Structure 1
Amino acid sequence: MKFDPMRILAVSNFYDSHGGGLERVAAQLNREFVAAGCDVAWAASDSDGLPENPARLIGLRCVNPTEKLTGLPMPIPDPRSIAQLRKAIRNADAVVIHDALYVTSILAMIFAKTEKKPTVMIQHIGVIPFANSLLNFIMRLANLVVTRPMMDTADRLAFISATVRDDLLGKPPRRRSMLVFNGVDQSVFNDRQRFTRGETRAQWGLPLNATLAIFVGRFVEKKGLRVLRLLAKQRPDVQFALFGQGPIDPREWGLANVHPLGQQPQERIADLYRAADMLLLPSVGEGYPLVVQEAMACGLPVICGNDSAKADPTASRWLSGVNIDLADPQSSAARCSAAIDALVDLPIDTAAMARYAAKAYNWRQMASTLLNSLR
C-alpha cells in the first residue's frame, strides 16, 4: 500500500541567505525532511532573497525595523503574506516552528491551533542579556508573555541546548521536551586538511606565524562585537578574522589586526578553521551556536560564552567558557584575553573533540527525532 508523504510546513524568521545560525539549521533540517520522503514547504521572510533548497519556498514580504536598532531581527509580514502563511498551514499535515518570539512564529502557532494541525517548536535561544536595562526588561517580559505560552501550546517542544532548556523550563524541567543537538555537515567540517596551514592563510592574506582567532556570525551586539573590538585593541599580537555581516561594520574600527572577510562558502570557512588557532564567539543569549559545533568537528579550540560552553554537558570539557557581560565589555574582553593565554598554556585534546563532534552531531538523527515526534 502506498502512503502519501507527510506534508510539513517549516516556519523560520528568515531564509539562510540572511546568514544566521537559526536559519542555517532550518535549511538543513528541511533538506533532511525532504530526503526522508516528506513534502516540505518553508515560509520565511524573503528580504534577503530566496536560497537554494529542496523545500518549496513561501517567501513572506516583511519589514524588519528592530535589527539595526537592537541587533535583534523581527520580521513583520504584510497582510498578504499573513494570508499566504495561513493557507500554507491549512495545506500542511504538521508545522515545525523555529523559536517562539518572532511574529511569523506566533502567527504560525495561532493558525496551526485554529486548523488543528500538530506542531513541534524548536527553541534555539533563551534569555538574551543586553547592556541596555530597558531592553533587558522587554526581553524578560517577552519570554513571560510570549515564549512560555508558545511552549505550553506546542504539541511537541525541542531544545538545541541544555542551558536554554534549563533557562526556560527550570531544573528539573516543568514539562517534557526533547534535547536535539544541531547536526554538522561532516563532508565539509572535519579535521582533514585540504591545504597546508600556510597555503590557507596565504589565500586570505593572513600572517603565517601569528595567533589567529576566527569569529563567525552576525555583526550585532548580542554576538559580542563590542567585546571583540576591545579585545583586538588589548591583543595586537593576535589576528582576528571575522566572517559575517550585519549593522556593525568592523572596518570602521581602524584596527590592523582585524580582518573582516564577509560571508563566505562553508568550505572556505572550514579551511580557515583548520588553519587557525581558535574560534572566538563572545556572544550572549545563545543556545548552542552551530559554528561552535562545526569548529569542534574541524579540531579547532573554542572560546565562547558560558551558556554556549555548557549547552552539551558531554562536550563542555573541550570548550573554554567565559563570563560575557555586555554591560561591561572591557572586563569581558580581559577574560577572553586570559582564555586565549590559557589555551596556549593548557592545550585541549582536539583529536578527541573532533571525533566526538563527528559522532554526536548528526543532521539525519536530529530530523528523524523530530519526525518521529510528529508521527
Structure 2
Amino acid sequence: MTATRPDRSPRVLLVSHHYPPHLGGIENVVRQEAAHLARRGADVTVLTSGPRPGAPGTGRAGERADGERAGGERADGDAVRVVRVPAWHGVEERAGIPFPVLAPALLPAAVRWARWADVVHVHDCLYMTSWAAGLAAALTRTPHVVTQHVAVVDHPSPFVGLVQRAVYAAAGRRLLSRAGRVVVVNDGVGAFAVGHGARRGAVRHVPNGVDTEFFRPAASAGERERVRDRYRLPRDRVLVLFVGRLVRKKGWELLLAAADPAYELVFAGDGDGSALGGRSGVHGLGALPPAALAELYRACDVFALPSTAEGFPLSVQEAMASGLPVVTSDDPGYAPYGLDRDRVALLPREVPVLRDTLSSLARDRARRERMAAYSRRYAAAALAWEGHTDALLRLYEDVRREHGRTAPRARTGGPRGAAYRGSGPR
C-alpha cells in the first residue's frame, strides 16, 4: 500500500544506470532509498535502463507492447514508479563492465521527469543516465543531488582507466559542480568529488544503510545446516564467504590464492569464475538473487573481501548485519566509521597476511563469536536505513530551499508517455 504523502514531501527522481532485478551495489542502494523514501511519504520515480530496443514484449519508447501509453511500472508494493528506457547491454555481456548504452528516448524522458520532480538525485557520474539527468535538471531548473559512490576504479585495462578519467573530468565535473549536495560514503570519495568540481561545502558524508531484518544471523544450527545442504556445502567445515563481482578490484583472486586446508572458500558473484572450477575446498555459486544471498550469509562462518578503493562496501555491511566476522582491506574509507579493529580485521592486501588471519580465525571459534556479535551490534546501531533516509530528506529540503522551492510542485501525476515500461534489464 502506498504511504500517505504529506503536503511538503518532495517528488524525487532517482536516477541509476541499473535497478533490480539487475544485481549490483548501486542498484541495491537505489532500491532501498526508493522504498524508504516512499514509506516516508515522498513521491518517488526511478529512471533507469531497460531491455534493448526491440526485445520481446517491447514497443517504441513511451509505449507498452500493446501501444498503451505508460508512465512506468510500479515496484516495492506499488509505492515506487520505475521508468525503464531501452538500452544495449553489450559492454557488460562482453567485457563485464556494467555500462548500458541507452536509446535516444533517454534525454526526453529525463527532461519530462525532471520537470515533474522537486529534486533529481543522480547516482554516480559515470553513466549515460546520469549525464542525461544532469542536463535535464539544468534545462528544467530543478535542483539536483549526486551520490558519488566511488572514485576511479582500478581496472586491468589501461583503456578503461583512461575512459573513466576522461568521463569524470568532463561530464562528471559538470554534474558535481552544479550539484546542490554531493553525498559520499567516505573522505576519500569526498576529496575525489571536490577535486572534480564539487563545492567543498556541498559534500555530505551519509553512510549507506542495510536491512537488518532481511540480513540477520541464523536462528539455529539447523537453519545453517539446511542452507548448506541446499547449496551443497559441507556441514563440518569452516566456510569463508566472498560476495561480489569476480573482478580485479574486489580482490577475489587474492582470496583464492590464500586458500588453506583450515577452511573452505565460497564465492558468490558474477564474472569469469573458470579459475574456481575443480579446486578442492573452493565453491563457486555464481550470482545469486538477494534472498538467496541473505541465506548464504547465514550459512557461512567468516566473510572476506580484500577489495580496493571501495570504502565501506554494501557486502561488508550485509555481512555484519548477518552476524559474520569480517576480514577486509585496511581502506582509508573505513576511518569515519570508528570500527573496533580488534573486532573487524582490517588487513593489507597481501596473500600471506590474509591466509594467516583466516587460518587463525578458522581455529578460534571463541574469537569468531566475539567478532560476530560485534558485527551485528554495529550494523543494528549505525547502519539502519532509517537514518540514511532522514539524511536524504534533510538534503532535499535544503536544496529545495536554496533554489526557492519551499513547496512541492502541483500533484498532477506523472508526465504522459514519459518512457518505456519494460520488463527489466537484460
- Using the TM superposition, give the Cα deviation of residue 350 of structure 1 relative to its aligned residue in structure 2, in angstroms: 2.6
What is residue 283 of structure 1 aligned with on the other side? 307
- Percent identity between the two aligned chains: 31
Q: Could you say what secondary structure the match of 1:13 adopts?
A: coil
Shift of 1:354: 1.4
Aligned to 1:328: none
What residue is the counterpart of 1:230 in the other structure?
Answer: 257
Deviates more, 1:269-278 or 1:16-25: 269-278
Instruction: Give, in angstroms, the shift of residue 21 of structure 1.
Output: 1.0
Cα deviation, residue 269, structure 1: 2.9
Distance in 1 of aligned mates of 2:276 and 2:372: 35
Deviations 1:264-290 (A, max 9, x none): 454443343233221122323324211
**1:340 partnered with 2:367:** no
User: RCO (CA 8 Å, sep 6+): is it higher in 1 or 2?
Assistant: 2
1:182 aligns with 2:208: yes
Aligned-partner SS, 1:144: helix
1:114-153 matches, within 5 Å, as 114-153=139-178
Instruction: Determine the structure 1 residue equivalent to 2:91.
Output: 66
Residue by residue over 1:246-280, the C-alpha shift from the partner in whole angstroms, topping out at 9 and shown as x without a partner, is 3x134763323222224445444334323322112
Q: CA deviation at 1:184?
A: 1.4
8 A Cα contact 2:87 2:103, kept in partner: yes
Q: CA RMSD in A?
A: 2.8
Superposed CA offset, 1:50-83 (max 9, x none)? 8943311100111234335554321121112332
| In structure 2, C-alpha distance between the alignment counterparts of 1:92 and 1:239, rounded to whole Å | 50
- Residue-by-residue CA offset, 1:185-205 (whole Å, 9 max, x unaligned): 121223352553434323322
Cα distance, 1:226–1:349 mapped onto 2, change above 3 Å: closer
Q: Please, what TM-score do these two structures have when normalized by structure 2?
A: 0.76
Give the C-alpha shift of residue 355 in structure 1.
0.9
The correspondence for 2:393, drawn from 346, 350, 371, is 371
Larger Rg, first or second structure (1 or 2): 2
The aligned counterpart of 1:320 is 345
- The one-letter amino acid paired with 2:153 is I
Which stretch of the first structure deviates more once superposed, 185-194 or 72-81?
185-194
Partner secondary structure for residue 66 of structure 1: helix
Matched, 1:21 2:25: yes
The residue type paired with residue 254 of structure 2 is: V
TM-score by length of 1: 0.85
Residue 233 (structure 2) aligns with: 206
Q: Which residue is 1:329 aligned to?
A: none
CA 1:311/1:272 → structure 2, altered by over 3 Å: closer, same or farther?
farther
Q: Any gaps of 5 or more consecutive residues in structure 2?
A: 1-5, 56-72, 398-426
In the TM superposition, what whole-angstrom CA distance separates every residue of 1:79-106 from its partner, at most 9, and x where no partner exists?
1233222211121111111111111111
Q: Look up the SS of the partner of 2:324 in the other structure.
A: coil
Return the alpha-carbon distance in structure 1 between the equivalents of residues 90 and 227 of structure 2.
39
Q: Tell me if structure 2 keeps the 8 A contact 1:303–1:320.
A: yes
Equivalent runs, 1:69-108 vs 2, <5 Å:
70-108=95-133
TM-superposed deviation, 1:6: 1.9
**Change over 3 Å in CA distance of 1:11–1:287 after alignment to 2:** farther
Structure 1 gaps, min length 5: 325-331
Measure the CA separation in 2 of the matches of 1:47 and 1:238: 41
Q: SS where residue 98 of structure 2 aligns? A: coil
**Which shifted more, 334-343 or 4-13?**
334-343
Cα gap change, 1:184 to 1:87, in 2 (>3 Å): same
Q: AA paired with 2:122?
A: I
C-alpha displacement of 1:34: 0.7
